[in-house]
Structure 1
Amino acid sequence: MKLLNKTNLSTEGKLVFKNFSFFSLLRAFNILSQYLLVSYLVRTLGAQTYGVFVWGFSIIQYLIIIINFGFNTYAAKYIAENKDDQVELNRIFSAITAIKLLLFIITVFFFIVIIYAVGVFDSNRSLILILLGFVLGEVLFPIWFFQGKEKLDIPTKIVFSFKFLLIALTFLLITGPEDLLRYALLLSVSQLLIGVTGFYVAKKKLNINLVKTTSNYILNKIKEGFMFFVGTLFSRTFNLAVIFLAGIWFTMEDVASFDISFKIIAAFQLPFETLSMVLFPTISRTKDVKMNERIIFMASAFSLLLWGFTFWQSDLLLTIMGGKELLIYSSLLKNLSILIPIVVVTYFLGTNTLVAFGYQREFNLSIIIPSVLYILTLVCLWILDLISIEALIYSRIMVDLLVMAIRLIIAYKHKLIFSSR
């Protein structure tokens, strides 16, 4: 970072560049570690057993969405707006932590009752129970706080340390399909360590103190975050519903193929998602429409190139991820690759445009309305006995197209894009 000080960037520009660099490292390492693990696990556990893991983990992801309550999307805005007010930072941190822990206790209680009462979970109950440790780790890790404080070097170092340990232990201890539960335990423990360490660093290194907050203050934060929770719940339903339903209606090999395809697509979306999250606090403060507009146009152009590459090299990408056995799913990846430019544009039109400029209600409605239509579509396909792999793919693509279209219309209406008109 000494070299950065010698450049002609403004103070704001240097801060953005520094945080983009660290967050890029964080996201890149997260994705790279996932790919290393997926590539190893598919070959070691087999596509069938890996599909079982993915199916169980998709259920856990729903719990994480409920417990995070949208704060991982929106709480960074609270922190960015009050970054120099230590008293208010303590109140925000304490309130959000209390909400998330309370939701964890309530949600896990009802969830355990459900998985013992519903037969579909019988064969994978132990796996799901072990993965609950991963949920607690997510609850404790205050990534939203580090993002709002623009101290992204801290979570980068924490995640790197424990994910590296996870990879090493996985290669050492996971040798066959019988080690599925052992891997789930390793994953949960590593995430718990990340959460506890992040929480400790926030308190000790960034001088955060847990303080008593009034019930009205907590209820106000719940009220403000509710629409973001609903929006996040619906938006994450897009991928998770496909994986969960594939596990019920089709085979676990199909589950594995969807998961690997989504991970390949996520890799090419990574730089744009990272840039979006890093710029969010800055745009929230500066309300710089021109800068945001330029970023959207550049991201759109580059994402189209990555779509073309993914479509062209689908066979190579699948072979790298899971071996030649997955080549039968090449058409699946080709069809889903259109999501790269669609989702990239949707990122920037969402958090960095609508949320940053104060259109939170419109942001959430842009997710909720298409998601309701998506759920109704899946229900109709099921009732009419028209469920197929192709139906899941095309409905998944159409819902993202609709989200993008709604956000484009809203942003244009409020002069947040094409602002020179």
Structure 2
Amino acid sequence: MFSQFALHERLLKAVAELNFVEPTPVQVAAIPPALQGRDLRVIAQTGSGKTAAFVLPLLNRLLGDGAAKPRLSLRAVILLPTRELAQQTLKEVERFAQFTFLKAGLITGGEDFKSQAAMLRRVDILIGTPGRLIEHANAGNLPLEEVEVLVLDEADRMLDMGFAEDVQRLAEACSGPHQTLLFSATSGGSGLREMVAKVLKEPQHLQLNAVSQLNEGTRQQIITADHNYHKEQLVEWLLTNETYDKAIVFTNTRVQADRLYGKLVAREFKTFVLHGEKDQKDRKLAIERLKQGAVKVLVATDVAARGLDVDGLDLVINFDMPRSGDEYVHRIGRTGRAGAEGLAISLICHTDWNLMSSIERYLKQRFERRSIKELKGSYQGPKNLKASGKAAGTKKKKTDAKGGKKAAKKPAAKTPSKRNTINKPKGDAPALVSQDGLAPLKRRKPAAE
């Protein structure tokens, strides 16, 4: 029960109004030390309830004795990596603060700069993205000297997006005594450790829902494909034959996202596309239409992998394999939330296999192998892995007929290595793969004449 926390009565009233009953593990672990004023470093996966874990202590601190106070400057700042995540966080703050005098405002790119500057003089809590806040700081619009609470949410993602210097500068501008709460989905690398050392003072470290502990209700499958055209066929088949309420298809590039979107629209799927080249109006429209059910399928790049919280999202398809284990977790973390069942399917070409295997090792999991009979391709994974059992993480010992160990045969001398070709649509040159299938062969340059 939330009543176990020493929260202001107005916040407990809001919690009851919102039908929040049992706090999540991250809330149980983070709220008490945050209420004590401790700096926190929290690792918790997306969808674990971490927003309430920092919003409630923040509001409690600003409320104090509950009496309204004249606002002289900003009192709290919440930094987030994307506009979508900032917009959702603003809604959460407003819901929890509905019975208080506290006002929150949003500062992100794509909105009128002068209107934002005027709004800064009327709010207690500022929620925004680092790049836009730096622009206001450069214009002298951002007074941070009186900030009492600084929250860095999705800190690992902000570093991945190149915001390290901006975040550091904004943290340093909060020059008065203040509490810092840093949340991330992963432990991050040296860059995140350096940030923690610079912006947190004697922090308490909490690790919950480690990145390898994915949503239990999400099944993870892979389907091998011969090429991108084959992947497009598989996407169409899955969206036609799987049972789902809403689905997201992730690509690594906006060019592929636009191409796939066009294909699906031509097949009369209710689809929208979301990537970094879309303006703010289109991005809002895409997310709202998906939430409202006007469209069932969203084709997106990783701009949507963080901060997208849509009820009924139960199918995620990785058209392209994400470039890291962390990004994989953020993508499939869109589905299987709050005990619901979800399905995550990754389409694997020969160029994706090594990356897929490395993500399996990172997560210490093995993805379920699946085949679509109607669209079964020629590529089924590296041949030597299938033959030796290494794909399952085991090594088979060669034995003779009597059960004894059998010496491995040496390769015949002067036997030229064979090269496999991957079937591709007409017009594309076949890709060359090494005999073990693990890495593309480099074409030898012709000798100088």
- Shared fold, TM over 0.5: no
Give the structure, 1 or 2, with the largest relative contact order (CA under 8 Å, sep 6 or more).
Answer: 1
Query: TM-score if structure 1 supplies the norm length?
Result: 0.25
Query: TM-score if structure 2 supplies the norm length?
Result: 0.23
Q: Which has the higher helix share?
A: 1
